[in-house]
Chains A and B, each alone.
Chain A
Amino acid sequence: MSVAAPSERGVAHVRSERWVPALATLLALLLVAAAAEVVIDGSAGLSPLIPKSPQIAGWLSGVGERLGYRVFLIALLVSSGAYLGLIVIAGRSGRVADGADGAEPRYVGGVVSKRWAIALVAALQLIVFAGPILISTDVFSYIAYARMAVEHGLNPYTHGPIAIHHDPIFRYVGRDWDRVATAYGPLYTLLSYPLAPLGVVGALWGMKLEALLASAGTLALTWRCARARGLDPVLAILVLGANPLYALYALGGAHNDLIMMLAMMAAVSLMVVGTPSRRREAGAAMWVVAGALIKATVAVLLPFMILSKRSLAPVLGAAAAVALGAVIGYAAFGIHGIDVVAALNRDAAFVSSDSFATEIAHLLGKPGVFPVDHDLLKAALVLIIVHLLWRTWRGYDWVAASGWALLAISVTSTWLLAWYILWPLPLAVVTRDRRLLVATLCVQALFVIHQTSPLLAPVQ
């Protein structure tokens, strides 16, 4: 922890009382303790929050007790509270100095130092990395799709994991997904191929390492983008890396959304860091397409990027990447490998109890979401995107517009999962429109509140 002296002219004066560093340290310790509690108790196995999995964190299994909803939800609430407190402290004390002679504004530090923030975020990521798979069975589906193709010669775009029911991975695939073909992009499927021959445990660690590296890359790029835009990079990586949903749900479940977010931030970084050039614009568009070939959602950035630049370079970059991706996808998986629309339509029909659509249906006295509601939500999403495109045309920051679009996709989706409401977060911390960050964190807070009913009335 360091307290910087207010020595530069033009620096906004911030009064740091003596208790602020101590409070920040306490909040950081609470975050670390909550993550450690979940990981250690999760390692004991036999928990509804830990999917059936090979013992990959057996060395921790004798330390904790079985992870129940009560402990998990208390840990989630404690870490959410600590996280909010920490970012309020970092946000109030982080300072950006005016650049001399028209140069870019420069971050000069605050109560929370760069080294301290990086150490906290790294500790959280490593604690979660060392533990078992948390909450979701998705990672087993990823491995199953890879093994279907590499070990069994089956096309994961035409078969569900049930086709390899004799394979050791099958028993770990979620029952809801065992007949569902992959909805992920061909680039992601091909990226997962090298892990298939490693066996179930080897592939699982490979997936966890992939998620950790993607997270580290996303955080590094977020830092660069925030600094380039004259925003507080320490606050940016704290908001993203210390986020409980990011650490426990996205990284804990080794979700491929982290790889998609890495591609997204690579694109943003090319656009906002360094001297603008057509080459960088084309490269950024290519990264967006690469991200969409992992998970299609990120494609929503492309129109905002193109509209803000109003040049041919990103269009050509995107077209080249789409053509290349289509050729590779078709060669590897046939027409089903590049039929993104069919996969999106199929997934759009799913309904989860955590979605805001379901909550509003309950509020209106309906048992759930009806087919007409899907159409209404799609129409609302189209209206929001059109408005954001118009705003971008009129000069609004395309990064913020993209973040709003991703937030709108998650809020209007009938299939909402914790890691979906993380999509806009890296964009929200590198844009000056703080409404996006507030809105994203409010949506995340509502998601967390929605999880708390087992705490209020535990069923045994």
Chain B
Amino acid sequence: MSATAASAPRRRDTGTVRAIETTVLVIVGVILAIATVNDVGRQVQNNHRLIADLRTWRQYTGHDYRNISIDSETLGLDSEREILCGNTTPGPPGARTQVCLAIWGPTVNGVRTVHAGWYLPPRVEDLRVHRYGCFGSGLRGMCAR
């Protein structure tokens, strides 16, 4: 068999492999694109919820502060329940007595429901041992005092 004749089946093989590879690449690309778009939608939904949470905190406390911390993990990741903490008087983040609100439920008129809350002394983390002046009934056992 001549070299040219021998290389013909090899070229056909390479062409088939290339076609399979391209198909796999397109499928993977479509999956990655769907996952990306889905994740953007998920983030946008989360952001809308957080916007409602921030508005709720500001409306509830009457303070139009910008630096409010949002904790989405303590009450369960993906539970759509958040704890928002912010200063009670103007100052750097966490430098004053803070008021924390536990917020969940549907967004109605741009705000959600405050189910419970507590105060924190300045410059401490939001740990059970530091919480005092608890109010609301949504979270029994969240406060030490």
Contact = CB atoms under 8 A, between A and B. Distances in A.
Interface centre among B10, B29, B54 (most CB of A within 10 A): B29
B89 interface: no
B35 A459 contact: no
A443 B21 CA distance: 17
A456 B40 contact: yes
A456 B37 CA distance: 12
A446 B47 contact: no
Interface string A382-401: 00000000010011000000
Interface stretch (A118-126, A194-202, A356-364): A356-364
Contact of A360 (B35, B44, B54, B77): B35
Contact of B44 (A411, A446, A456): A456
B78 A367 contact: yes
B48 interface: yes
B33 interface: yes
Interface in B8-24: 10, 14, 17, 21-22
A16 interface: no
Nearest to B53: A459
| Chain B interface residue number, banded | 20 to 34
Nearest to B31: A360
B40 A363 contact: no
Interface residues of A, number: 26
Interface string B27-54: 0010111111111101110011011001
B29 A439 contact: yes
Given A362-B42, A450-B40, A443 B32 contact: yes
A411 B29 CA distance: 11
B64 to A, nearest CB: 11
Nearest to B33: A446
Interface centre among A391, A439, A450, A459 (most CB of B within 10 A): A459
Nearest to B55: A460
B129 interface: no
B3 to A, nearest CB: 14
B66 interface: yes
A363 B38 contact: yes
Interface string A180-217: 00000000000000000000000000000000000000
Contacts of A454: 47
B47 A453 contact: yes
For the complex, would chain B's binding face be called helix, strand, loop or mixed by DSSP majority? Answer: helix
B139 interface: no
Contact of A459 (B17, B31, B51): B51
A450 B34 CA distance: 11
Contacts of B35: 356, 359-360, 362-363
Interface in A344-389: 356, 358-360, 362-363, 367
A394 B66 CA distance: 61
B25 A453 contact: no
B25 A439 contact: yes
A435 interface: yes
A300 B32 CA distance: 24
Nearest to A450: B36
A435 B22 contact: yes
Contacts of B17: 391
A458 B25 contact: no
B50 A449 contact: no
A457 interface: yes
Interface of A: 356, 358-360, 362-363, 367, 391, 394-395, 411, 435, 439, 442-443, 446, 449-450, 452-454, 456-460
Given A359-B39, A456-B44, 16 more contacts: A356-B32, A356-B36, A359-B32, A359-B36, A360-B31, A360-B35, A362-B35, A362-B38, A363-B38, A367-B77, A367-B78, A391-B17, A439-B29, A443-B32, A456-B47, A460-B66
5 contacts: A359-B39, A363-B38, A454-B47, A459-B51, A460-B51
